[in-house]
Amino acid sequence: MNALVVTGSRHGHKWVRPTLGLLHARKPLTHLVLGCARGVDRQALEWALDHNVFFVVFTAEWDRLGRSVAGKERNKAMVRLGAAWGGECVGFPVGPSYGTHHCMDTAVNAGLPVWRVSEVGKIEGWF
């Protein structure tokens, strides 16, 4: 199994499809774990559908948990599943991207290898 947690900006990111393609070429992706927002989440979902890759979508419980907690809890759940599947994480932050950085930091703390893709397409490790 080759699982990948995908996190990123609601504004989208032009490097989502090329990066997923590179990671898939390196070692075929079998599972994607992602959120349920517009932007990067939607782009990753469309990529998974185009490439017949299994995916799990996590929604944030905004009404029940509120803005300060819901996104963080969703991120933690995504990372737990990614870790259980022995996966990695790739983040596509745009600007401050607080939620994206929270998810990436959570993945680092869980021991997942984490990749950050800059707005100009540079892929680097996240520590």
Which residue do the tokens 């907690």 mark?
A: 69
Least confident of 15-19, 33-37, 45-49, 123-127: 123-127
Burial (CB count <10 Å: 0-12, 13-18, 19+), residue 72: middle
Grade residue 12 by pLDDT with cuts at 50, 70 and 90. confident
Alpha-carbon span 26 to 97, nearest angstrom? 27
Domain definitions of the chain by residue range: 6-27+40-125
- Predicted pLDDT of residue 1: 83
Average pLDDT over residues 114-118: 95
Task: State if pTM tops 0.85.
Answer: yes
At 22-73, the pLDDT tens digits run 999 999 999 999 999 999 999 999 999 999 999 999 999 999 999 999 999 9
